[in-house]
A = this chain, B = another copy of it.
Amino acid sequence: MARSTIKDVAREAGVSVGSVSRVLNGLPVSPRLRQKVEEARSLLQYEPNSLARSMRTNSTGAVGFFVPDVANPLYGAIINSLDRRLNARGLMLLLASGRGRMARDVVAEFRRRQVDGLIFVPDSEDDADLMHDLERFSAPTVIQSVEFPSRFYGVRVGYRDGTRQAVDYLLDLGHRRIALLTPLPHLWPGRERQAGYREAFRQHDLTVDDDLIRPLAIGRDPLPDLKAVMQGPDRATALILPGSHILALALQQAREHGLSIPHDLSIISIGDNDWVATYAPAITTLRWPVETLVDALVDLLINQMDDRSLRPVQVIVPTELVLRDSCGPVPSTDGRAC
């Protein structure tokens, strides 16, 4: 049997479709009418068709979310939190992912599907076409992790301050050869981390050895860079790493080279999770707060939905340096020619 429609309910209840619609939408009706409709409704197990409803109301109750890679546990946490928040507001998550030119297709698809809002995590700032599409996207849009002065609503993580703080901490422990493995500077995270790194050195009146800054393209094997900074007489005595994957690799390398942590090598990882906290030694991390980030994302989106005349706002959520056991004073016996 086919799904029942509002007509069926109207016929069953002996009223007009308009009246059924009013009951469904909580508009003022007589108790008698309401009761008749409710009875017919539950008898027929009627559920309104949100497609038809959306077409009339121009509102789908769906929010599009695009990330370059869903499998990244980092995004998993965001998606989870986002889903909860949107749910609480009666919104549903339309998820899509992909890299490079797929991003534009996704924007078009979200347009066709008439999403009420769009949260976008681009994997590049350089794609002018994509940026154009995003700019003329008709629904409220929030961009994460990318820098677009004043044109977009955006939420970004305060990696600059965070990284400066992390480097400060290492400098205070006496480290001078601090390696920074970081995403490419074409995107906010990579750019800001590098800036924070340089700021810290500048404030200490120290010069930066550019060989210790290793920008890593996505998908590139980080091992060569890791080896480059961990070997030789001038090796780094401290590492700042961009995530658990590379951290695991670094720990493995350290073992192979007989470097104990934190005695011979100090490590700070960016992004906190279960196992870095329980590893031996527990890893000091620069944590960025998922909940705060998602709150900002959702708030910015909802604000726009409520008042489309608002001017773009950009939020930076601060990071937190979580001190554990993977950092110690600089080793005195090696790492320096004498």
Contact = CB atoms under 8 A, between A and B. Distances in A.
A55 B51 CA distance: 6
Interface stretch (A118-126, A179-187, A190-198, A272-280): A272-280
Interface string A119-140: 0000000000000000000100
Interface in A40-70: 47-52, 54-55, 60, 62, 69-70
Closest 6 CB pairs of A and B: A76-B76, A71-B80, A248-B278, A70-B80, A50-B112, A248-B275
A73 B274 CA distance: 12
Number of copies: 2
A83 B54 contact: no
Nearest to A90: B109
Contacts of A79: 70-71, 76, 79, 95
Contact of A109 (B70, B92, B138): B92
Contacts of A83: 70, 95-97
A34 interface: no
Given A69-B80, A247-B275, 9 more contacts: A51-B60, A71-B80, A73-B76, A80-B97, A83-B96, A93-B94, A94-B94, A251-B278, A255-B280
A93 B98 CA distance: 13
Query: Number of contact residues on A: which range applies?
Result: 35 or more
Interface of A: 3, 47-52, 54-55, 60, 62, 69-73, 75-77, 79-81, 83-84, 87, 92-98, 108-109, 111-114, 138, 244-245, 247-249, 251-252, 255, 274-275, 277-280
A108 B47 CA distance: 8
Given A76-B73, A244-B275, A274-B245, A94 B92 contact: yes
A74 to B, nearest CB: 9
Contact of A113 (B69, B77, B92): B92
B3 A138 contact: yes
A251 B94 CA distance: 38
Contacts of A87: 96, 98
